[in-house]
Amino acid sequence: MPIYVYQTTPGEAGGKPKYYEIRQRMMDGPLSTHPDTGEAIQRVILGQFGILTSGRNAGGGKRGRPSDCGPGCCCG
């Protein structure tokens, strides 16, 4: 089961949120209250970003050429 990061929703201006890691099934929806404390919480979306381009790959070749990387291929 994955671990999701949640933060409290501070009720007062300038209040700092507390962060929690909660293990949940992927099929479960996001929680709105902490299961143990009852505090109001919201799921934090974490991730990285990538740049998508069309027509060229990271190696500089055009799609369909032998230099083109396939799924799971490391061009390094």
pLDDT, residue 69, reads: 57
pLDDT, residue 11, reads: 74
Report the number of distinct structural domains present in the chain.
Answer: 1
Q: Which pLDDT tens digit goes with each residue over 4-55?
A: 999 998 777 778 899 999 999 999 999 999 999 899 999 998 776 667 666 6
Tell which wins on pLDDT, 2 or 54: 2
pLDDT, residue 25, reads: 94
Domain that holds residue 31: 1-47
Cα–Cα distances (Å) from 38 to 31, 34, 35, 51, 57, in that order, read 11, 5, 6, 40, 49
Whether 55 is covered by a domain: the verdict is no
User: What's the half-sphere exposure (Cβ side, CA atoms, 13 Å) at 12?
Assistant: 3
Whether 3 is covered by a domain: the verdict is yes
pLDDT, residue 48, reads: 65
Average pLDDT over residues 60-68: 52
